[in-house]
A and B are shown apart, each in its own frame.
Chain A
Amino acid sequence: MDPLTIAAAGGMRARMEALEMLANNLANAATAGFKLDRESYSLYVAPEALDPALAGWSPAPSLLPVIERHWTDFRQGALKPTGNPTDLAISGPGFFVVEGPRGPLYTRNGAFRLSPAGVLETGEGYAVRAVGGGRIRASGRGPIEISPQGEVRQGGQLLGRLEVLSFSRPEALSKVGHNYFRAADPGLRPAPASGYAIEQGKLESSNVAAAEAAVRLINILRQFEMLSRAAALGGEMNRRAVEELAKVAP
Chain B
Amino acid sequence: MIRALYSAASGMTAQQMNVDNIAHNLANAKTVGFKARRAQFQDLLYQNLVQPGASASAQTVVPSGLQLGLGTRPASNEIVFSQGNFQLTGNPLDLVIQGRGFFQVRLPSGELAYTRAGTFHLDRDGNLVTADGDPLEPQITLPPDAQSITIASDGTVSYTQPGQTAAQLAGQIQLANFPNPAGLNSIGRNLYTPTDASGDPIVGNPGGQEGLGTLLQGYVEESNVSVVEEFINLIIAQRAYEANSRVVRAADEMYQQVNNLTR
Contacts and interface: CB of A to CB of B under 8 A. Distances in A.
B80 A84 contact: yes
Contacts of B71: 23-24, 27-28
Given A84-B80, A221-B253, A232-B261, A175 B46 contact: yes
B3 A20 contact: yes
A97 B66 CA distance: 24
B18 interface: yes
A228 B247 contact: no
Given A143-B211, A232-B261, A19 B65 contact: no
Interface stretch (B23-31, B125-133, B197-205): B197-205
Given A24-B7, A26-B244, A30-B72, A220 B250 contact: yes
Contacts of A129: none
Contact of B8 (A26, A114, A117): A26
B42 A30 contact: no
B254 A224 contact: yes
Contact of A26 (B44, B48, B211, B243): B243
B180 A114 contact: yes
- Which DSSP category, helix, strand, loop or mixed, fits chain A's interface? mixed
A131 interface: no
A82 interface: yes
A85 to B, nearest CB: 9
B14 interface: yes
Contacts of B180: 113-116
B1 A16 contact: yes
Contacts of B15: 30
A23 B4 contact: yes
Interface stretch (B88-96, B111-119, B135-143, B233-241): B233-241
A68 B246 CA distance: 26
Nearest to B47: A20
Instruction: Sort chain A's interface into a size bin.
Output: 35 or more
A81 B174 CA distance: 32
Contact of B40 (A16, A32, A37, A69): A32
Contact of B247 (A26, A70, A72, A84): A26
A116 B247 contact: no
Interface string A137-171: 01011110000000000010000000000000101
A140 B65 CA distance: 44
Contacts of A192: none
Contact of A174 (B3, B49, B52): B52
Contact of B236 (A17, A30, A84): A30
Nearest to B41: A31
Given A27-B72, A116-B200, A185-B52, A177 B42 contact: yes
Given A27-B244, A176-B45, A214-B243, A184 B52 contact: yes
B75 interface: yes
B82 interface: yes
A171 B253 CA distance: 33
A141 B244 CA distance: 43
A78 B240 CA distance: 16
A115 B14 CA distance: 26
A111 B45 CA distance: 19
B76 interface: yes
B251 A177 contact: no
B179 A174 contact: no
Query: Which residue of A20, A32, A214 has the most chain B CB atoms within 10 A of its CB atom?
Result: A20
Interface of A: 12, 15-17, 19-32, 34, 37, 39, 67-72, 82-84, 86, 109, 111, 113-118, 123, 138, 140-143, 155, 169, 171-172, 174-179, 184-185, 210, 213-214, 217, 220-221, 224-225, 228, 231-232, 235
Interface of B: 1, 3-5, 7-8, 10-11, 14-15, 18, 38-46, 48-50, 52-53, 62-72, 75-76, 78, 80-82, 100, 177-180, 182-183, 196-200, 202, 209-211, 224, 236-237, 239-240, 243-244, 246-247, 250-251, 253-254, 257-258, 260-261
Given A20-B4, A140-B179, A217-B246, 16 more contacts: A17-B66, A24-B69, A25-B69, A26-B7, A26-B8, A26-B240, A27-B71, A69-B50, A70-B66, A82-B80, A123-B76, A176-B45, A177-B44, A177-B69, A179-B42, A210-B239
